[in-house]
Amino acid sequence: ADIAAGKAKAATCAACHGANGIAAIPTYPNLAGQNAGYLEAALKAYKAGQRTSPQAAIMKGMAMPLSDTDIKNLSAYFSSLK
Amino acid sequence: ADIAAGKAKAATCAACHGANGIAAIPTYPNLAGQNAGYLEAALKAYKAGQRTSPQAAIMKGMAMPLSDTDIKNLSAYFSSLK
């Protein structure tokens, strides 16, 4: 995975998940240091519409335009944050 | 929330999420230091069947028997881990 490309892609995510991967909003998850494999699974679940809670709708919109490569790079980037 | 009660309840969770909240399996999330508000939202989403990816089925089974109090205590416990 390309962590630098993930970082560039993550500009949008920072608004809710924090520039350092620590979420500004308590009902949103911190992503820093999370398992990359889990982040990939979660992004794919949002993209596939397998998460249907009210707040999941926001993430579905975010995940829809992401390619598998974007998902891999974003996951590696956030996982790399301490 | 009662973190000690959460810790007692978390014995089952440790098998996959680690006794210290760091998941043994890369496609499962670390829970240590996660936002309690997010953990509550996620557990409720599993319990309500709002997460339908293949691996979500496991968590649905885990979340079903939990009361709102259990969910609050578990979330506070894992959030308290560093």
Chain A residues with beta carbon closer than 8 angstroms to that of B33: 30
Tens digit of each residue's pLDDT (9 = 90 or more) over A9-24: 999 999 999 999 999 8
Decide if the complex's ipTM is over 0.90: yes
* CATH class for the domain made up of B3-80: mainly alpha
The residues near B44 (Cβ < 8 Å, ≥ 6 apart) are A53, B63, B71
Where in chain A are the domains?
A: 3-80
The residues near B42 (Cβ < 8 Å, ≥ 6 apart) are A29, B51
At A69, list the tokens: 């490569």
Query: In this complex, do A51 and B28 lie within 8 Å of one another by their Cβ atoms?
Result: no
Closest of B19, B55, B78 to residue A44, by C-alpha: B55
Tens digit of each residue's pLDDT (9 = 90 or more) over B4-61: 999 999 999 999 999 999 998 999 999 999 999 999 999 999 999 999 999 999 999 9
Query: In this complex, do B53 and A34 lie within 8 Å of one another by their Cβ atoms?
Result: no
Mean pLDDT of A28-48: 98
Question: How many CA atoms does the CB half-sphere of A62 hold within 13 Å?
Answer: 21
Residue A24, pLDDT score: 86
